[in-house]
């Protein structure tokens, strides 16, 4: 396969794994990507420009290029990693990455010069033929951000918003010790709010008096909750979902909200599978934190309040359990191995997570939390009858709401008991 | 010494032996928890050797030796003939089998890995030290499942593997040649037919398989010579709830075990029941019901986090005649049951048969 792209100055960057390497000479030009940590922190535009110049000269002089990305994390236990791409290369995907990278750097520079901030989706549409899919653009921009130490806002390529929340909040930024109200968000009946961009936001104030913040893994569960009476418009809670694996913004949102409101408990409810627990881990630790954005992504105070899978089985809906597949199994094993990254062996609550993984591995079963709604057919029927009277309300899943309400009230009671 | 009967696995990091708690030996093995365990016991020149291999949840093997019935020593398994931890290999089920027939002190040790690899080692005790010699491997690949349990019968020269997709495979042990495959033949619930336990009878003529059919557990007996299905061990049921019609446990059946003579088979299930079956006429001989109230929790810690209200039984083994003390201990079989309510229960056969 040949990958090529035409840059603005009519240079054609072309890479082909079968191409004769003689076109490029043996001289290797090293291009290093590392964060500026000293006092002279150059802007993203300048950094990218100088890198681009290096690449440009290299290609013009027919040198071989070696791209090295130095990524270090601020999480304990994560070693700094290096990513290396070579050009030319005999590896198809490496060819693809290098050519895409050069194109992306060029797009970013031209955006930054116009002071234009694009979403990653926009960047993908600039050269669909070359990129092929969105994920390579996301991956390369993420690598660039992490290795150069810029936030995605600084580099001018932000991800699309993904996470949702439901609650009344105010975004506040600080300006020389003055708090400035930036935006206000209010609940509107049955409609989730996209998590806003948090560039420059220092505080998220919760307007009304709330009892807890609830994070759910799935959008379906989220929708059931916000359409319900218990968690809907008049409830005193904030509900957040990252729709599966949370993106940066969702993690950041939760992290800021927890730092601003340290007294409000944050609960998480995920599926009864290893991936659910991994999602919880993402919220808690912030995932692989890069060195620049530090603590703005993790929420250490979040607690998992799912019942155990055993609990779930005892509700007698085991017919709808799924068999653990190899990937789940490996994930469970990985979670147990990496437990120290997000849990504490001396904390009973944390230990429940590890025993949960062990149980899933041993029982070889997993379950999705949505299944609860199809439980208890008589309830469901009753509810359908009720629904007919107010026909145009979309049907919330009654039982899952009940279930979540039950475990939340349990958890709140436990917290109160501990306080006493 | 009652190791062979008592200790099947620990879910926690502590291992417990013997009936009264005053006899408990503890050894910390791995903080990720232990799930499988196999014991090798031999007597050479009137010295007892007991080796244990435990598998922890992070996939590592741990070799332990018991010296003089009271001291547990952790040995580094890689020092004894094979590099077990190479390439970050991860293990799940393991099994020792002792070569009794010609007593050449040449036994086998087998392992399964989640990636579908079965490995076989020769095991012997050389100058008082364990010695592993790699014998061969079988690669099952990813056939929409992974091996969950393994058993071997040196007497019959057979190796059997149960898979999470419901298949049971029998191989010839010496040549590692596949002999029979018992497919998962239940049409519905095909996604939920994990094989949970397989056991050869002591003489290796019969293979008992415990697997899921949906939410139920069923035990099937196979003839190992001709690869024929002999029949199921089932309880009479008039329930319309269960579309499969027949089952052995109203819940997954986690482990089965033959007694020393192969006449009886014991099974335990998620329904908190332990059943003893007569292998000859395939009838249920007795059922034991487990309940959390059987247990007296000595430390309040044991019962702190999740009170289940039930006692799903996840492990069961026969204790040979003559090991258990007390009345009738010499003549009667005993049972030990492990359950998810963190209890270990010991039972003995009543009467003086």
Please enumerate residues of A whose Cβ is less than 8 A from a Cβ of B. 308, 310-311, 313-314, 318-319, 321-326, 329-330, 333, 336-337, 339, 345, 348, 351-352, 354-355, 357-358, 361-364
Helix H or strand E segment including B160: strand B158-163
For residue B219, which of B227, B236, B231, B205 has the smallest C-alpha distance? B231
Report the alpha-carbon distance of residue A296 to residue A279 in Å, rounded: 17
- The answer, yes or no, to whether residue A379 has pLDDT greater than 80, is no
Which is the catalytic residue, given A125, A275, A345, A383? Answer: A125
CB contacts of A368 in chain B (<8 Å) are none
Of B108, B125, B107, the closest CA to residue B47 belongs to B125
What DSSP string describes A340-397? Answer: HHH--TT-HHHHHHHHHHHHHHHHTEEB-GGGGGGS-HHHHHHHHHHHHHTTTS----
Q: What percent of chain B has pLDDT over 90?
A: 3
Mutate to test the interface with A, among B9, B12, B28, B33 (most CBs of A within 10 A): B33
Name every chain A residue with its beta carbon within 8 A of the beta carbon of B33: 336, 354-355, 358
H-run or E-run covering A124: helix A120-126
Most confident of A227-236, A289-298, B34-43, B248-257: B248-257
The mean pLDDT of A151-161, rounded to a whole number, is: 83
Total residues belonging to chain A? 420
Which residue out of B215, B271, B300, B314 would a mutagenesis test of the A interface target, given it has the greatest number of A Cβ atoms within 10 Å? Answer: B215
**A411 neighbourhood in chain B, CB within 8 Å:** none
Do B114 and A355 lie within an 8 Å CB cutoff? no
pLDDT of B43 above 80: no
CA distance linking residue A266 with residue A264, whole number of Å: 6
A305: which chain B residues are within 8 Å (Cβ-Cβ)?
A: none
Residue positions counted in chain B? 353
SS3 A416: helix
Q: Across the A/B interface, how many CB contacts are shorter than 8 Å?
A: 69
Q: Where in chain A is the domain with CATH 3.40.1360.10?
A: 164-419
Q: d(Cα A64, Cα A50) in Å, to the nearest integer?
A: 18
- pLDDT at residue B45 is higher than 60: yes
Predicted TM-score (pTM) of this structure:
0.77
**H and E: helices and strands count for chain B:** 1, 23
A365 to chain B, closest Cα gap in Å: 9
Q: Is beta strand B273-278 parallel, antiparallel or unpaired with respect to B283-289?
A: antiparallel
Per the CB < 8 Å rule, is B90 touching A333? yes
* Per-residue pLDDT reduced to its tens digit, B104-118: 667 888 888 888 888
pLDDT at residue A395, as a whole number: 42
With beta carbons under 8 A apart, name residues in chain A contacting B270: 313
**DSSP label at residue A22:** G
pLDDT band at B322 (very low <50, low <70, confident <90, very high): low
pLDDT at residue A385 tops 60: no
Tell me the range of A337-351, B233-247, B338-352 where mean pLDDT is highest: A337-351
Pick from A331, A333, A351, A355 the residue to mutate for testing the B interface (most B CBs within 10 Å). A333
Say whether pLDDT at A396 is over 60.
no
What residue in A sits closest to B188 (Cα-Cα)? A319
CA distance B353 to B349: 9
Q: Which range (A16-25, B247-256, B272-281) has the least confidence?
A: A16-25
Across the interface, do B310 and A314 touch by the CB < 8 Å criterion? Answer: yes
Report pLDDT digits (tens) over B22-39. 556 666 777 777 788 888
Which of B306, B310, B311, B339 is best to mutate for the A interface (most A CBs within 10 A)? B306
Q: Which long-range contacts (CB under 8 A, 24 or more apart) does A130-137 make?
A: A130/A3, A130/A4, A130/A5, A130/A99, A130/A100, A130/A103, A131/A100, A131/A103, A132/A96, A136/A96, A136/A97, A136/A100, A137/A100, A137/A104
Q: What is the pLDDT of residue A128?
A: 87
**Residue (of B247, B249, B146, B161) closest to B197 by Cα position:** B161
Answer for the pair A189, A233: CB distance below 8 angstroms, yes or no: yes
A125 part of the active site: yes
With CB atoms and an 8 Å threshold, state whether A352 touches B59.
Answer: no
Instruction: Report the first-to-last Cα separation within chain B, whole angstroms.
Output: 24
Chain B positions in Cβ-Cβ contact with residue A341 (cut-off 8 Å): none
Q: Which of B58, B148, B310 lies at the smallest CB-CB distance from A333?
A: B58
pLDDT classification of A19: cutoffs 50, 70, 90: low
Please give the pLDDT value at position B3: 40
Tell me: cis bond preceding B57? Omega within 30 of 0 counts. Answer: no
Test B33 with A354 for CB contact under 8 angstroms.
Answer: yes
Mean pLDDT, range B117-136, rounded to an integer: 84
DSSP readout, B62-93? EEEEEETTTEEEEE-GGGTTS-TTGGG-----
Q: What is the mean pLDDT of chain A?
A: 79
Contact between B311 and B294 under an 8 Å Cβ cutoff? The reply is: yes
pLDDT in the model for residue B129? 83
pLDDT the model gives residue B238: 60
Q: Residue B20 — pLDDT band, cuts 50, 70, 90?
A: very low
What DSSP assignment string belongs to A134-164? HHHHHHHHHHHHHHHT--HHHHTEEPPP--E
Chain B nearest-CA distance from A89, in A, is 27
Q: Say if residue B187's pLDDT is above 50.
A: yes
Chain B residues near residue A326 by CB distance under 8 angstroms = 114-115, 142, 145-146
Residues of B in contact with A355 (CB under 8 A): 11, 33, 305
Is A329 close to B146, i.e. CB distance below 8 A? yes
Residue B301 has pLDDT above 50, yes or no: no
Which alpha helices (DSSP H) does B155-202 contain, by range? none
Once rounded to an integer, what is the mean pLDDT over residues B140-162?
84
> Which of the two residues, A323 and A186, has the higher pLDDT score?
A186
Residue A17 has pLDDT above 80, yes or no: no
Q: What is the pLDDT, as a whole number, of residue A297? A: 81
Residues linked to residue A290 through DSSP beta bridges, in sequence order: A73
Q: Which residues of A touch B242 (CB under 8 A)?
A: none
What local confidence, expressed as pLDDT, does residue A207 receive? 85
Question: What stretch of H or E contains A249?
Answer: helix A248-260
Asked if B146's CB is within 8 angstroms of A339's CB, the reply is no
Gap between the Cα atoms of A271 and A64, Å rounded = 48
Asked if A323 lies within 8 A of B215 by C-beta distance, the reply is no
Determine, for residues B58 and A336 on separate chains, whether the beta-carbon distance falls below 8 Å: yes
Higher-pLDDT residue of A289 and A379 is A289
Q: What angle do CA B5, B6, B12 make, to 5 degrees?
A: 145
| Residues A120-142, mean pLDDT to the nearest whole number | 88
Which residue, B61, B73, B74, B130, is CA-closest to B98? B130
Task: Report how far residue A192's alpha carbon sits from residue A226's, in angstroms, rounded to the nearest whole number.
Answer: 8
Domain with CATH 1.10.10.10 in chain A: 4-158
Q: What is the mean pLDDT of residues B50-54?
A: 85
Across chain B, what does the average pLDDT equal? 75
Which of B32, B146, B304 lies at the smallest CB-CB distance from A337? B32
How confident is the model over A261-282, as a mean pLDDT? 88
More confident residue, A389 or A171: A171
Instruction: Give the least confident one: A72-81, A237-246, A276-285, B282-291.
Output: A72-81
Burial class (CB in 10 A: 0-12, 13-18, 19+), B252: buried
Which of A326, A337, A354 faces B146 most closely, judged by CB atoms?
A326
Least confident of A135-149, A265-279, A385-399, B79-93: A385-399
| pLDDT of A83 strictly over 80 | yes
Asked if the model's pLDDT at residue A89 lies above 70, the reply is: yes
Q: Do B57 and A322 touch (CB under 8 A)?
A: no
Which chain B residue is nearest to residue A344, measuring alpha carbons? B31
Q: What is the pLDDT of residue A241?
A: 92
For A13-22, A184-193, A277-286, B140-149, which range has the lowest pLDDT when averaged over its residues?
A13-22
User: How close A316 gets to chain B, by Cα (Å)?
Assistant: 10
Q: For the stretch B14-33, what's the b/e string if a residue is b when 16 or more beta carbons lie within 10 angstroms of its beta carbon?
A: ebbbbbeeeeebebebbebb
Mean pLDDT calculated for residue range B1-14: 39
Give the helix ranges, DSSP H, for B134-248: none
**Residue B306 with chain A: CB contacts under 8 Å:** 308, 310-311, 352
Q: What is the pLDDT of residue B5?
A: 39
Contacts of A240 (CB under 8 A, 6+ apart): A163, A164, A165, A166, A195, A213, A214, A215, A216, A250, A253, A254
Q: Worst-scoring range by mean pLDDT, A196-200, A214-218, A340-344?
A: A340-344
Distance to chain A for B145, nearest Cα, Å: 7
From the candidate CATH numbers 3.40.50.970, 3.40.1360.10, 3.40.50.9100, 1.25.50.20, the one assigned to the domain spanning A164-419: 3.40.1360.10
- Measured between CA atoms, the residue of chain A closest to residue B315 is A362
The answer to which of A101-110, B17-26, B251-260 has the lowest mean pLDDT is: B17-26
Q: Which CATH class is domain A4-158?
A: mainly alpha
Confidence of residue B13 (pLDDT cuts 50, 70, 90): very low
**Comparison of pLDDT for A268 and A308, the residue scoring more:** A268
Predicted local confidence at residue A354, as pLDDT: 82
CB contact under 8 A, A329 and B58: no
Mutation to test the B interface, candidates A361, A363, A367, A417, most B Cβ within 10 Å: A363
Closest Cα in chain A, distance from residue B209 (Å):
16
**Minimal Cα–Cα distance from B116 to chain A, Å?**
10
Comparing C-alpha atoms, which of A415, A256, A263, A286 is closest to residue A349? A415
On the question of pLDDT at A242 being above 50, the answer is: yes
Q: Which of A323, A333, A364 is the closest to B59 by Cβ?
A: A333
Alpha-helical segments (H) within chain B: 3-6
Task: Read off the pLDDT of each residue in B174-201 and give the average, rounded to a whole number.
Answer: 78
pLDDT above 50 (res B320): yes
């Amino acid at each position: 396969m040949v990958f090529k792209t035409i840059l603005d100055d009519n240079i054609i960057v072309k890479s082909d794994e079968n191409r004769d390497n003689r076109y490029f000479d043996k001289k290797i030009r090293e291009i290093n990507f590392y964060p500026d940590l000293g006092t002279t922190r150059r802007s993203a535009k300048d950094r990218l420009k100088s890198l681009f110049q290096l690449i440009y000269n290299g290609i013009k002089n027919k040198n071989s290029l070696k791209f090295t990305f130095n990524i270090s994390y601020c999480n304990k236990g994560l070693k700094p990693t290096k990513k290396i791409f070579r050009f030319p290369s005999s590896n198809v995907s490496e060819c693809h990455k290098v050519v895409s990278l050069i194109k992306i750097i060029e797009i970013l520079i031209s955006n930054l010069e116009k002071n234009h901030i694009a979403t990653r989706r926009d960047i993908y549409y600039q050269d669909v033929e070359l990129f092929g899919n969105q994920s390579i653009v996301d991956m390369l921009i993420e690598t660039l951000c992490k290795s150069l130490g810029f936030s995605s806002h600084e580099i001018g390529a932000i991800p699309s918003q993904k996470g949702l929340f439901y609650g009344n909040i105010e975004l506040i930024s600080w300006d020389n010790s003055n708090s400035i109200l930036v935006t206000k968000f209010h609940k509107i009946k049955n409609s989730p709010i996209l998590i806003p961009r948090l560039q420059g936001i220092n505080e998220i104030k919760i307007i009304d008096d709330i009892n807890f913040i609830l994070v759910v893994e799935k959008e379906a569960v989220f929708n059931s909750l916000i359409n319900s009476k218990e968690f809907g418009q008049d409830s005193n809670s904030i509900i957040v979902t990252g729709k599966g694996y949370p993106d940066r913004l969702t993690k950041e949102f939760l992290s800021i909200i927890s730092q601003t409101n340290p007294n409000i408990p944050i609960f998480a409810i995920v599926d009864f599978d290893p991936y659910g627990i991994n999602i919880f881990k993402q919220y808690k630790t912030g995932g692989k934190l890069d060195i620049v954005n530090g603590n703005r992504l993790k929420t250490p105070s979040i607690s998992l309040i799912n019942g155990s899978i055993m609990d779930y089985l005892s509700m007698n809906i085991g017919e709808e359990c799924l068999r653990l597949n190899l990937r789940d199994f490996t994930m469970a094993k990985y979670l147990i191995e990496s437990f120290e990254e997000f849990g504490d062996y001396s904390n009973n609550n944390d230990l429940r997570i590890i025993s949960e993984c062990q149980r899933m591995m041993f029982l070889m079963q997993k379950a999705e939390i949505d299944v609860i709604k199809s439980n208890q057919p008589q309830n469901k029927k009753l509810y359908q009858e009720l629904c007919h009277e107010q026909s145009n309300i979309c049907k919330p899943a009654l039982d899952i709401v009940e279930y979540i309400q039950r475990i939340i009230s349990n958890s709140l009671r436990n917290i109160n008991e501990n306080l006493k | 010494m009652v190791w062979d009967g008592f200790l099947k696995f620990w879910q926690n990091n502590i291992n417990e032996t013997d009936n009264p708690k005053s006899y408990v030996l503890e050894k910390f093995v791995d903080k990720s928890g232990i799930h499988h365990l196999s014991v090798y016991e031999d007597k050479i020149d009137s010295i007892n050797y007991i080796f244990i291999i435990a598998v922890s949840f992070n996939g590592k093997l741990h070799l332990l030796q018991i010296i003089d019935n009271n001291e547990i020593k952790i040995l580094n398994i890689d020092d004894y003939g094979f590099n077990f931890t190479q390439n970050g290999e991860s293990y799940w089920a393991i099994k020792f089998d002792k070569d009794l027939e010609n007593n050449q002190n040449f036994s086998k040790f087998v392992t399964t890995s989640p990636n579908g690899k079965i490995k076989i080692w020769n095991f012997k005790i050389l100058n008082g030290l364990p010695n592993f010699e790699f014998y061969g491997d079988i690669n099952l690949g990813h056939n929409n499942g992974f091996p969950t349990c393994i058993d071997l019968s040196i007497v019959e020269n057979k190796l059997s593997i149960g898979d999470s997709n419901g298949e049971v495979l029998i191989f010839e042990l010496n040549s590692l040649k596949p002999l029979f495959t018992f497919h998962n033949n239940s049409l519905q619930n095909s996604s939920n037919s994990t094989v949970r336990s397989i056991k050869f009878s002591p003489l290796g003529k019969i293979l008992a398989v415990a697997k899921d059919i949906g939410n139920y557990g069923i035990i099937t007996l196979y003839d190992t010579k001709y690869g024929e299905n002999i029949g199921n061990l089932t309880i009479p049921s008039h329930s319309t709830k269960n579309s499969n019609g027949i089952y052995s446990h109203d819940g997954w059946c986690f482990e089965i075990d033959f007694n020393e003579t192969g006449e009886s088979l014991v099974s335990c299930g998620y329904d908190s029941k332990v059943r003893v079956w007569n292998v000859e006429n395939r009838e249920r001989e007795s059922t034991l019901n487990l309940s959390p109230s059987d247990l007296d929790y000595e430390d309040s810690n044991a019962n702190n986090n999740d009170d289940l209200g039930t006692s799903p039984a996840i492990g069961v083994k026969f204790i040979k005649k003559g090991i258990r003390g007390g009345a009738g201990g010499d003549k009667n079989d005993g049972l030990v049951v492990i359950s998810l309510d963190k209890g270990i229960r010991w039972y003995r056969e009543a009467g003086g048969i």
